[in-house]
């Protein structure tokens, strides 16, 4: 299968606010359609960042005129929005998402896509470049796919457990060699080392079985 990875930044109600409030998103758009010559998208998003910043992000997003519906629960929110042009508007059923769309704290989006026909990807990328001036193609290759994202409900982590593991991932705790230790992570979160360790361990105990579980 052909696999492409692109990165771009554009004037977007989500990316602009990610940069403004220092929030990162993992996003999936299960429904896209055109209505009155505008693209309407129904999407699901998982937020990473400081809880107060997430509150500000959502509060500001609710004021956006192109937001039709918004529902939030914890770090997750569902969004129905309209736009004059969006990259997802060029999506076709012959393309699959290898991973969720990532929107980082600088407002840049990273997409990883797959298709049996290379032309499906090159046509998609060409169309995106016509409306998004800052597009970089980071990968386009014929590869065997070793993993594909399947949407699945996240375990029921508490807010403090989510914050603990997000800080660990973002600051390189799970990299080899580690870029940070638990004491510094606890300081970043503003809590005692023993309390941070408890939150992180509880989050790991919920996440790891969920990742490797099989439907019985």
Q: What is the pLDDT of residue 167?
A: 87
Q: What is the pLDDT of residue 62?
A: 96
Q: What is the pLDDT of residue 216?
A: 37
C-alpha dihedral sign at 17, 18, 19, 23: positive
Q: What is the pLDDT of residue 188?
A: 92
Two tokens, residue 147:
């993993």
Q: What is the pLDDT of residue 153?
A: 47
Summarised one tens digit per residue, pLDDT across range 167-192 is: 888 888 888 888 999 999 999 999 99
C-alpha dihedral sign at 126, 139, 9, 49: positive
Q: What is the pLDDT of residue 76?
A: 87
Q: What is the pLDDT of residue 208?
A: 67
Q: What is the pLDDT of residue 58?
A: 97
Q: Which residues of the chain have pLDDT under 50?
A: 151-153, 213-216
Q: How far apart are CA 169 and CA 165, in angstroms?
A: 6
Q: What is the pLDDT of residue 51?
A: 87
Q: What 8-state DSSP symbol labels residue 151?
A: -
């Amino acid at each position: 299968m052909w696999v492409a990875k692109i990165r771009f930044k554009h004037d977007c109600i989500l990316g602009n606010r990610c940069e403004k409030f220092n929030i990162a998103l993992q996003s999936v758009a299960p429904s896209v359609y055109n209505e009155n010559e505008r693209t309407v998208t129904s999407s699901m998003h998982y937020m990473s960042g400081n809880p107060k910043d997430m509150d500000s992000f959502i509060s500001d997003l609710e004021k956006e005129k192109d937001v039709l519906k918004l529902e939030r629960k914890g770090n997750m929110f569902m969004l129905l929005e309209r736009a004059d042009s969006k990259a997802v508007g060029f999506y076709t059923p012959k393309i699959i998402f290898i991973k969720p769309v990532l929107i980082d704290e600088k407002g840049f989006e990273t997409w990883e896509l797959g298709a049996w026909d290379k032309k499906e990807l090159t046509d998609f990328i060409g169309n995106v470049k016509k409306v998004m001036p800052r597009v970089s193609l980071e990968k386009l290759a014929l590869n065997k796919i070793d993993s594909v994202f399947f949407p699945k409900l996240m375990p029921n982590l508490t807010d403090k457990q989510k914050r603990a593991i997000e800080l660990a991932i973002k600051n390189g705790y799970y990299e080899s060699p580690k870029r940070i230790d638990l004491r510094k992570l606890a300081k970043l979160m503003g809590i005692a080392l023993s309390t941070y360790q408890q939150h992180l361990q509880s989050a790991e105990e919920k996440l790891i079985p969920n990742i490797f579980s099989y439907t019985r």
